Amino acid sequence: MTTGVPNAVPKTHFSTIIASPDAPFRQRLLQQLAARNCLAEEVCGGAEALALIEEGVCRTLLLDQTLPDLDAQELVAIIHARYPQVEVHMLDSRQREETGGTAADLCPDSGELFRLLQNSREPRIPTELADPLERPVPRLSARADDVESLPGMTGHSPSLRRVYRLARLVAPRQTTVLLTGETGTGKELVARALHTLSPRRERPFVVINCAAIPEPLMEAELFGYNRGAFTGAFQSRMGRIQLAQNGTVLLDEVGDLPLSMQAKLLRFLQEGEVQRLGSSDSVRVDTRVVAATNANLARLVKEGRFRDDLYYRLAVFPIEIDPLRFRPQDIPPLSQRFLDHFSQEAHTPAKRFSPLAARALDQYPWPGNVRELRQVIERAFILAEEQPELRPEHFPWGTRDFANERNLRTVA
């Protein structure tokens, strides 16, 4: 995402968002806005626009009728319901291709629109940036916060509620989704929820761990092979992508996909066809793709380790899952859920956390995220034996005060 002004401006000062997959179209609009001294930011799709609106940095949205991820009319309805303070104006980038007109020509009553941007409540590019804490843009309404969690997931921190909203928004569609976040944040849980909430829920959900398959076997595992395709291929076999016919395939750790396989995967995403090793025939496959990675794919693209065309094909609808240390509100309900699960599994009376144990869980930085939290609770449950509550000494780190350690490191 880039800004429409030459100097870097904090997000809190942007008030107009241009959402369109057409880069030249966005640039024309940015030029029109810059000429009127309006602050603006451009995004490619509806998901990015919605994310910025949720952050409270947008007052006006210029929305292309053609989006790569969401239905524009449905997005408008969601924005009107949840964020009535945001004004939405629909544009059509396809008309530019047909007529060659300017961006301003493509907006019905464009003069009135830009008079609105210039003369109403839209701020100008200031000579000195005002304090971003002054007169903040209204944030999430109560209705926007009331979102149901995803199947199998626990927690209601603001960032996790955003994941719930985006996932439920895109689940019924065929849109390719890219899940990003550190190891152990729950990317596979979100992927399974996308499948469960989709029309494909009765069909297979196939997980492909791209980091666990040796490169020489990668093509055969993904696309399958015919009998005699290589030494040891005594019978034909379908690939994992084809096994997910009419269902969903999760490409886990897609950032570890070898460059040699990226072109073949891109062809499948573009054509919807797979070709088995040892065969000249292509097989049509109807499979929804969800990708997940803990790597920074944009950085890998710059380093030449990931194809940019594959990245843009996968990142049609990105959903980022924050690490557990950024959402401490989720630690108590997650901890209790895991503890209840282990109690039920062992057929023992329910246990609880002592106040000091609860404080220790809250202070720990959780480098392994939710996965580490589950393992810590399981270990503590076993060590507690017949005791009715878990105490700090049942945790691997004992009674160390991580809050004080963090403060000392900050001061140092």
**Domain 325-411 grouped into CATH 3.30.530.20:** no
Contacts 24+ apart (CB under 8 A), 336-340: 337/154, 338/373, 338/374, 338/377, 338/378, 339/377, 339/381, 339/390
CA angle 406, 409, 410 (to 5 degrees): 85
Q: Are 139 and 56 in contact (CB under 8 A)?
A: yes
Q: Alpha-carbon distance 88 to 97, whole Å?
A: 23
pLDDT score, position 226: 80
175-217 per-position pLDDT tens digit: 999 999 999 999 999 999 999 999 999 999 999 999 999 988 8
**Domain 147-320 grouped into CATH 2.60.40.10:** no
Dihedral (CA of 338, 340, 342, 345) sign: negative
**Ranges of each domain in the chain:** 11-119, 147-320, 325-411
Q: Which CATH class is domain 11-119?
A: alpha beta
Residues in the chain: 412
Domain 147-320 and domain 325-411, same fold? Reply is no
pLDDT score, position 401: 61
Q: How far is CA 231 from the centre of its chain?
A: 41
pLDDT score, position 181: 95
Residues lower than pLDDT 50 in the chain: 1-13, 96-99, 102-110, 112-113, 116, 118-144, 405, 407-412
317-346 per-position pLDDT tens digit: 999 999 999 999 999 999 999 999 999 999
